[in-house]
Amino acid sequence: MKEFSVEIGHKGNFGESAYAKLDLPATWAEFSDALQRAHASDAKELDYFDILYCEKNWLKPHTADCTNIYELNLLASRLQEHIPDELDIFEGLVRMDAARNGSHIPVSRLINMTFSTSRCMIASNIASDAELGEVLYENDLLAEMDALAVNDRMDNGRPADAMLALLGKEHREGTGGVLTDTGLYLEWDGEIEDAYYPGETVYFNHIGVPVVLELSCNEKTVELEFPLSDRRLQIALSAVDAKRLEECNYRCTDCLIPTARKWIDEAGDYNDAERFALKLAEIERNGCVPEYKALLEASGCEDLETAIRLTDEIYEYRLDAECCLFTDYAKKELCKKFPASENGVDITEYVNLQSYGKALMEQNNVVSTNYGMLSRKDGGPILFPEDMTEENGQEQSGPEMEMR
């Protein structure tokens, strides 16, 4: 489930901006992918940031003007780690803090507040001031004069609801407490845990391996990193009381190529996941991850087997990440052919850059992707999976994975 959706943007060298959308919380692989699609090397280069969606309406006033994607992702991660009761308590904290200190709470303070839910005094099954007043009366928590006033106004042997509601409201407003929609009454001393240290906290989950699967068996779950090692495999199987991987169900929770998580799940084969992870590790070592992502997009890849086949093709391609639009490509090529002198004329002002760039790219067999302009090093057309020869499409089987 997403807590926020954001859009980031970066203006390139040719004056045009590239944009990318990202759901939070995100893994490091998903964040890196969004930066690559925005043609930015890191978050410092972003010159556009907009929050498109916030799951919890009561957080919108406090997060609407946030421009720190690291802090927003950390807040989203913290929210998803809370059990439902703690989220109710956190909502109460937010409402109390906003009432005491102003309508806006910085995201950095919200993060610390997620560590502070244990500081609340909590009473459950209280949906109104009258019910709060009744709890106070029955537990001898009212001032002596207030308790006498209740006793003087009994209704058929029980305290009058109107009196209880009045006393409950006075207590709630006097202590700054809140009633939640789920029947909790909260009081808080206003102090928060000092748990978040900017720049010293892990903002994104970064495991550092190409593929991570969550195994489930015998009502237990464990994460297993790929490429596999015998030790990791044995530890994972032991954690779910299984002897072989085939006994377990799995889902992909992280991948160097975020779009491939769906393909890994659909393939349903641990050996394919291992083959893919080994290929991705090689591509990452060779610094060709953006090129590979662009090739997957340009070729219309929709399954894991095709993605594995394309790993052997990536070294035949080049990616121009400087260009993100037809106009960028046109400007770049025109500047090569007609470099403007100090007092010369800028020819790009007199050319339909959109049409010229598109035509030039078709002529040069260049394809536009979210990651930049992709082309073959030999100048030929980009090969689609169905165009590959059987020889190029063959893959050696990965090692069978079993307990040793």
| pLDDT tens-digit map of 291-305 | 999 999 999 999 999
Q: For residue 257, is it within any domain?
A: yes
CA 333 vs CA 241, 330, 339, 345: distances in Å: 61, 5, 10, 16
Q: Lowest-confidence range among 18-32, 308-322, 343-357?
A: 343-357
Same domain for 103 and 240? no
Same domain for 175 and 129? yes
Same domain for 147 and 220? no
pLDDT score recorded for residue 300: 92
Same domain for 301 and 160? no
What does the pLDDT average to over 341-369?
Answer: 81
Q: Which domain holds residue 288?
A: 207-312+386-404
Q: For residue 69, is it within any domain?
A: yes
Same domain for 166 and 226? no
CA–CA distance, 231 with 82 (Å, rounded to integer): 32
- Token representation of residue 344: 């010369």
Same domain for 108 and 127? no
User: 153, 187, 221 — which closes off a domain?
Assistant: 187
Query: What's the domain count of the chain?
Result: 3
User: 114, 138, 154 — which closes off a domain?
Assistant: 114
pLDDT score recorded for residue 396: 45
Same domain for 214 and 108? no
Q: For residue 228, is it within any domain?
A: yes
Q: For residue 363, is it within any domain?
A: no
Q: For residue 355, is it within any domain?
A: no
Same domain for 165 and 229? no
The residue with greater pLDDT, 396 or 128, is: 128
CA–CA distance, 330 with 355 (Å, rounded to integer): 9
User: 187, 221, 240 — which closes off a domain?
Assistant: 187
Q: For residue 358, is it within any domain?
A: no
Confidence of residue 398 (pLDDT cuts 50, 70, 90): very low
CA 382-210-325 angle, 5° bins? 40
Tens-digit pLDDT profile for residues 113-138: 999 998 888 888 898 989 888 888 88
Same domain for 308 and 224? yes
pLDDT score recorded for residue 352: 87
Same domain for 404 and 258? yes
pLDDT score recorded for residue 296: 96
Tens-digit pLDDT profile for residues 40-77: 999 999 999 999 999 999 999 999 999 999 999 999 99
Q: Cα-flanking dihedrals φ and ψ of residue 394, to 5°?
A: -70, 145
Same domain for 128 and 108? no
Q: What percent of the chain has pLDDT over 90?
A: 57
Same domain for 295 and 401? yes
Q: Which of 8-12, 146-150, 176-180 has the highest mean pLDDT?
A: 8-12
Q: Lowest-confidence range among 267-271, 339-343, 351-355?
A: 339-343
Q: For residue 136, is it within any domain?
A: yes
Confidence of residue 403 (pLDDT cuts 50, 70, 90): very low
CA–CA distance, 246 with 332 (Å, rounded to integer): 53
Tens-digit pLDDT profile for residues 149-178: 777 777 766 777 888 889 889 888 888 888
Q: For residue 83, is it within any domain?
A: yes
CA–CA distance, 76 with 1 (Å, rounded to integer): 10
